[in-house]
Structures are given as structure tokens and as C-alpha cells.
Amino acid sequence: MSWDDPEIQALSLRHLRRLSKDAKRPTHFTVKRWPHGLPCGGSGTLYDQVSDRPPIYLAGDRFSDWPSMSGALESGQCTRESLANAIRAAQSPPV
């Protein structure tokens, strides 16, 4: 990736601000680069929900059995289903 750190920070904050007003003034921001990073996988779950309000999920090939494009797609699809179910449940009238 040829973006510099301020470009990555600006893009990240732009997207996070859509989710939460708390992202307007982050207390800390760093970009970690792994020039010789190796993929890893096998977490045992296809995504991780790290927040309910706002709903924030972590997904991608890291969460599949083997890091690959196929694993990233599977992780994203499961995340989408979980988020859609949560939205439907929140919109349903109480029983």
C-alpha cells in the first residue's frame, strides 16, 4: 500500500465517524505496517463482534481456517448475516 500514515488515518476516521460520534476525537491513532507479514488464520470463528453499540465487527481472511480470498468472502458473508439478524431483531416489535 503506497498511502502515507495521514492518508490512512483520514480514511479510517471518515468511515468510523459514520458509526460513532466518539470517533470525532480519537485519543490515539497509529498505523502498523508489516512489510514482510505472513497471513495467519484458524481463529475458530468467522468473525468477531467487538461492540454492540455501535455494532462493530472484525472479519476477513484472518478469521477463516486458512487465509485466502475465499476465506475472506466466507467471513464477510457470515458477518453480514449476523449484522442483518441483529438489525432485524432491533426493528422487531417487543413480544
If asked whether residues 25 and 69 sit together in one domain, one would say no
pTM for the whole thing? 0.58
Total domain count for the chain?
2
If asked whether residues 44 and 87 sit together in one domain, one would say: yes
| Residue 32 confidence (pLDDT) above 90 | no
C-alpha cell at 73: 468472502
Residue 81 three-state SS: helix
**28: domain range?**
1-37
51 and 95 both lie in a single domain: yes
Q: Are residues 11 and 54 in the same domain?
A: no
Residue 61, CA distances (Å) to 1, 6, 49, 71, 86 in order = 18, 26, 15, 5, 23
Q: Is the pLDDT of residue 89 over 70?
A: yes
Q: What is the pLDDT of residues 44-85, one digit of tens each?
A: 899 999 988 888 899 988 888 887 888 889 999 999 999 999
Beta bridge partners of residue 49, listed in sequence order: 57
